[in-house]
Amino acid sequence: MKASSRSATRTPSRRATSGRRSASVKRSATPARKAPPALSIDVNRRLLNRYRFIEHESLHLLAGWLPKAETFELKCEIGRSLWESALHVNAFYLRLREIQSPAFQKPEDSALVTLMTELRHAPDEFALATGLYGVVVPSLIQALASHETATFPNSDQPSVYAIQHALVDLRALLQRIQPLLDQAAAAGKITARTRAWRTYITGLLAAAGGASGLEKRRTAPSAPACRVEFKLPCEAGRDARFTQRGSDLQTMPPEDDYREHTIEEFERYSTEMLAAETVAIVLCGFTSMPWEFQFDSARHLYDEVRHCLMGYEWMRAHGMNPFDSPQYLQIFRWRCQFPPVMQYCMLTMGNEVHAFPYRHRRVEAHQQSGDALSEQFVRYDIADETQHVRFGKRWLPELLKQVGETRDLDTYTADVLQVWESQYRTGKLTINVE
């Protein structure tokens, strides 16, 4: 009996085994629920290229508008979102070059091209902001969020990764921009033409089927009377809080007068928006350069915005009002007389190369004075400027080829620096008035 019991426990009867097999067959025969069809690779790359195009064109139009914008906080956001757009374009570029060749392709959708072309012709900076940040970016967020869940989660994970990171930035951008638009509305700066421009851009977006191109399309509207043909600026805008816009550069207090020299040092940092505006002009002048140049220049531009904000932070920490600082706007006007390649050479091979000995002396002075905040600020500046000089050394030869310059690099640089030394460093700027 005991042996029989053990045998029954270990070995199921043939009938019982047969029953389990039958149940197993029944379960496997039940059809699995069909998952919604994922985006095909052809649709995927077409959509990714649309998103890339929107961000890429946004980068260019924001570069053109950075010097024009007057409201300081909006100008800073333009600089930041331009850089973030470059990060997104680069992420899409890295993915697109894996699934299509060439990686960057002009969209076949003429309505989308029209939308992104027209955005730059906004009548004012808040019309630009409401059109881009209030209309196009929300549509792009919606398209990216849909794409993230519609594509193959495993096979297309590199696209999902790029999309998820872009969504983080774009959603945060809207959270930062909305208070600026609310303040502008409260100040009466959201005018009838601002609203007319938003309506126009909304209509162009609908004609393009939204950022994805998959929405129902409508007839494109005619341009409103408020449209202003965009021209690259040769004057740098500042809002009414800036009380000293055109002061001449003065000799700095001697470095051994630590307190007074440091105040002037960080006042000068607060004016580095001028350098960002110069890089913006260079970016607009060389949209046909390789993507890597545009990517480096977007970072260069935003670094200069951050240096400006660094000066503001330091001045406010020391009880000073940065809006009272001289802006030296004539420097931007002076630079704009020269071709973009010459502006780039003066900035990277002039201002930035020659600043290192002074910056290193300032780090030592701040260390000796126990001024940790000033020391850290200058050390970060040195790190950024080192990278900018690398950019200049890498890209200046390519820029000279683009413009057909016949002088060799060394001769061209020496000639440009002669102008820089005789005018910029002396403060004797020759500005031709037409």
Give the tens place of pLDDT for each residue, 242-254: 988 877 777 889 9
Domain assignment present for 262: yes
Structure-model confidence comparison of residues 182 and 6, the more confident one = 182
Tell me, yes or no, whether 345 and 411 share the same domain. yes
Q: What is the mean pLDDT of residues 2-14?
A: 41
The whole-number pLDDT of residue 377 equals 97
CB-based contact 47:39 (threshold 8 Å)? yes
- Interaxial angle between packed helices 291-317 and 372-403, expressed in degrees from 0 to 180 and rounded to the nearest 10: 150
How far is 349 from 334, CA to CA, in rounded Å? 17
In-domain check, residue 429 = no
| Longest alpha-carbon distance in the chain | 117
Is the pLDDT assigned to residue 6 strictly greater than 70? no
> Do 188 and 66 fall into the same domain?
yes
Domain stop point among 207, 239, 272: 207
Shared domain check, 184 and 267: no
**What local confidence, expressed as pLDDT, does residue 11 receive?**
43
- pLDDT on residue 38: 83
- CA separation for the pair 47, 39 (Å, rounded): 10
Pair 391, 298: CB distance under 8 Å: no
**Which CATH number fits the domain that encloses residue 98?**
1.20.1260.10
Is there a domain that residue 23 lies in? no
Per-residue pLDDT, 231: 96
Sequence-separated (6 or more) residues with CB below 8 Å from residue 254: 261
Query: Each residue of 278-333: pLDDT tens digit?
Result: 999 999 999 999 999 999 999 999 999 999 999 999 999 999 999 999 999 999 99
Helical (H) or strand (E) element with 4: helix 2-10
- What is the end-to-end Cα distance of the chain in Å, rounded? 117
Of 182, 92, 78, nearest to 137 (Cα)? Answer: 78
Do 58 and 161 share a domain, yes or no? Answer: yes
268: burial class by Cβ within 10 Å (0-12, 13-18, 19+)?
Answer: middle
Tokens (6 digits) for 190: 């959201």
C-alpha angle 18/23/24, rounded to 5°? 95
Q: Are residues 198 and 300 in the same domain?
A: no
| Domain-embedded: residue 371 | yes
433 confidence band (pLDDT: 50, 70, 90):
very low
Q: Are residues 187 and 55 in the same domain?
A: yes
Helix ranges (DSSP H) in 102-156? 110-118, 125-131, 137-150
Return d(Cα 22, Cα 256) in angstroms, integer. Answer: 94
Residue 131 CA to residue 120 CA, distance in Å, equals 10
The per-residue pLDDT for 189 is: 95
pLDDT digits (tens, 9 = 90+) for 383-414: 999 999 999 999 999 999 999 999 999 999 99
Report in angstroms the alpha-carbon separations of 189 from 102, 164, 181, 185, 195: 43, 34, 9, 6, 11
- Domain assignment of residue 51, given as a range: 41-207
416 with 271, same domain? yes
Say whether both 99 and 202 belong to one domain: yes
The rounded percent of the chain whose pLDDT value lies above 70 is 91
User: How many C-beta atoms lie closer than 10 Å to residue 130's C-beta?
Assistant: 24
Neighbours of 66 (CB within 10 A): 27
Average model confidence (pLDDT) across the chain: 91
The angle at the Cα of 137, spanning 133 to 141, to the nearest 5 degrees, equals 145
**Interval 54-76 mean pLDDT:** 98
Q: Are residues 181 and 104 located together in one domain of the fold? A: yes
